Amino acid sequence: MLNYKLKIGLLPIRRWIKEPPKRIGIFQSDYAVDNKKLCVDYIKQNYADSETEFVDIDWLNEEGLLYLDKDCDKVADYFKKQEIDALFIINCNFGQEYCAGAVAKQLKVPTLLWGPRDRNFSNDIRYTDTQCGLFAMSKQLKRNNVKFSYIENCDITAPAFDEGLKKFFGVCCMVKNFKNLKVLQVGTRVKPFKSIMYNELELCEKFGIDINAINLAEAMIDIKEIYETRQADLDEYLVELKQKFDTGTFDDELLKKMLAVVYYYEKIAKENDCNIISAECWTGMTIGWANPCLAMCLLADKDIYVTCEWDIYMTITNVLLLSATRGKLKPLQGEFTTRHPENDNAELLWHCGPFPLSSKAEGEKPYLYNTKPSFRVKDGRYTIARFQAEKGKYYLLGGEFNTCKGPKTFGTYMWAEFDNLPKVERKIVEGPYIHHMSEVYGQYSDYLKEFTKYFDEIEYDDIND
């Protein structure tokens, strides 16, 4: 299973200038302390939940602020022991740029830089100069080779803060799961599918992605055993299936054989402690047992994700989209299939049945066509993506589109309208990408672009450029 939990280290920083017993006027510590209390309390009250935990430095001193160079190692060691996933530097006045760089350099986790907008101009004095300090801090982070995200200097209640913080959480989740990715591959690529070739060794060496394979003959033995020993479960599951799908004239035993594949994938996902499965689908599995598309469709709504046609790069893309939404939305595997007969900028994004049932359009009655789930997905704005490699270079294609009306067809599908479809078509043909794509409901292209900041080896590519 993927891990959507995040532990964020909150690091409020202020400027320190040796003027005992206490500095007055600009950079007076009282105003930085006020900013710190406002920001830390607001973040914890509004963004802490079952998936998001915050760790502060209130233990460090009576202010709960970092401002002395000698405390940097102490703070970094504490965050390491807490095993934080990301660091959030909150600039509470001009700040101490050395401290920001020194702590972030040691932690080597995704880092966010932000400071509240300067609002106090009383008595003809500026007390904070937060924005000015952000410029200085950013350069210190860069000089220390710290990869970081940034939220514009704004009020903590501004939409820009909310949007930026949620995007950072999504990106942190993407980085976390990408770096710890375990893929289980069932079966191997069939002869004609040359387009989905991938470099397993390079994925391991560059990114630490672990891919383990299960022999298809072994899979058949396990599925057959499940079918023979779990008939009562399969009978119960069959009733549930017929309530959800129009199964037509398909024989109950064939339907139960397809449902046995659901139990099989559940079993191997647990046994192998994998994050996602890339599976054999329309040759050996279908010939030797039954079509697995229905299992893929049903499993997605159980938060067990099985991608089809042995496409490892699409599997990785699905993990990135799942992580961007922190598991709240489920990715689809709609491939570029055919142009709209009338709309020059619309394309059929289709696959033969693996979309999660929860993605279907309201009022759609799902049915089985040639044993494969068939329905149109809900309309709206979608993000589209594709992780891909070519000649040792890695790319992340990203963009967005709106659904549109189009002819009804079999399988799981949507009609997608792009700004300039011929341009997109040319990018796929001439670029490193293949026609297999992943989509998720909502707008996450900025998350994809921000994610690539944290990996020198991956270049972001806007689908509309």
**pLDDT tens sequence across 344-362:** 999 999 999 999 999 999 9
Distance CA 173, CA 145 (A): 21
Q: Is the pLDDT of residue 446 over 90?
A: yes
Q: How many CB atoms lie within 10 A of CB 23?
A: 15
∠ CA 18-23-25, rounded to 5°:
135
460 near 452, Cβ under 8 Å?
A: yes
pLDDT of residue 26: 87
In a domain, 164, yes or no: yes
Query: Any residues with CB less than 8 A from the CB of 318 and at least 6 apart, and which?
Result: 276, 305, 307, 331, 333, 438
**pLDDT tens sequence across 370-409:** 999 999 999 999 999 999 999 999 999 999 999 999 999 9
Same domain, 127 and 206: no
Q: Is the pLDDT of residue 457 over 90?
A: yes
Residue span of the structural domain in which 336 resides: 182-462
Same domain, 202 and 163: no
Distance CA 9, CA 29 (A): 22
pLDDT of residue 327: 97
Over range 34-58, report the average pLDDT.
98
Q: Is the pLDDT of residue 19 over 80?
A: no
How far is C-alpha 161 from the geometric centre of its chain's CA atoms? 20
How far is C-alpha 190 from the geometric centre of its chain's CA atoms? 29
Same domain, 142 and 190: no
Q: Is the pLDDT of residue 21 over 80?
A: no
Same domain, 385 and 404: yes
Asked which of 139, 173, 207 is the last residue of a domain, the reply is: 173
In a domain, 1, yes or no: no
In a domain, 116, yes or no: yes
Q: What is the CATH number of the domain that holds 101?
A: 3.40.50.1070
Q: What is the CATH number of the domain that holds 230?
A: 3.40.275.10
Same domain, 317 and 457: yes
Same domain, 425 and 290: yes
Number of domains within the chain: 2
User: How confident is the prediction for the chain on average, in pLDDT?
Assistant: 96
Asked which of 173, 190, 221 is the last residue of a domain, the reply is: 173
Asked which of 173, 203, 228 is the last residue of a domain, the reply is: 173
**pLDDT tens sequence across 100-144:** 999 999 999 999 999 999 998 888 889 999 999 999 999 999 999
Picking from 90, 113, 79, the residue whose alpha carbon sits closest to that of residue 39 is 90
In a domain, 131, yes or no: yes
Picking from 173, 146, 9, the residue whose alpha carbon sits closest to that of residue 77 is 9
Over range 429-438, report the average pLDDT.
96
pLDDT of residue 85: 98
Confidence of residue 181 (pLDDT cuts 50, 70, 90): very high
Q: How many CB atoms lie within 10 A of CB 27?
A: 21
**pLDDT tens sequence across 140-180:** 999 999 999 999 999 999 999 999 999 999 999 999 999 99
pLDDT of residue 221: 96
Q: Is the pLDDT of residue 18 over 90?
A: no
Q: Is the pLDDT of residue 88 over 80?
A: yes
pLDDT of residue 1: 85
308 near 300, Cβ under 8 Å?
A: no
Same domain, 29 and 169: yes
Picking from 345, 331, 358, the residue whose alpha carbon sits closest to that of residue 405 is 345
In a domain, 93, yes or no: yes
Picking from 59, 165, 75, 72, the residue whose alpha carbon sits closest to that of residue 116 is 165
In a domain, 221, yes or no: yes
Which ranges in 245-343 belong to alpha helices (H)? 252-271, 284-288, 293-300, 312-324
Over range 65-93, report the average pLDDT.
98
Same domain, 296 and 368: yes
In a domain, 356, yes or no: yes
Task: Let me know if 435 is exposed, middle or buried by CB neighbors in 10 A (0-12, 13-18, 19+).
Answer: middle
Q: Is the pLDDT of residue 236 over 80?
A: yes
In a domain, 419, yes or no: yes
Same domain, 153 and 204: no
pLDDT of residue 191: 76
Same domain, 209 and 132: no
Same domain, 168 and 85: yes
**pLDDT tens sequence across 279-315:** 988 788 888 999 999 999 999 999 999 998 889 999 9
Same domain, 339 and 257: yes
Of 184-188, 189-193, 273-277, 452-456, give the lowest mean pLDDT range: 189-193
Confidence of residue 97 (pLDDT cuts 50, 70, 90): very high
**pLDDT tens sequence across 187-228:** 888 777 888 899 999 999 999 999 999 999 999 999 999 999
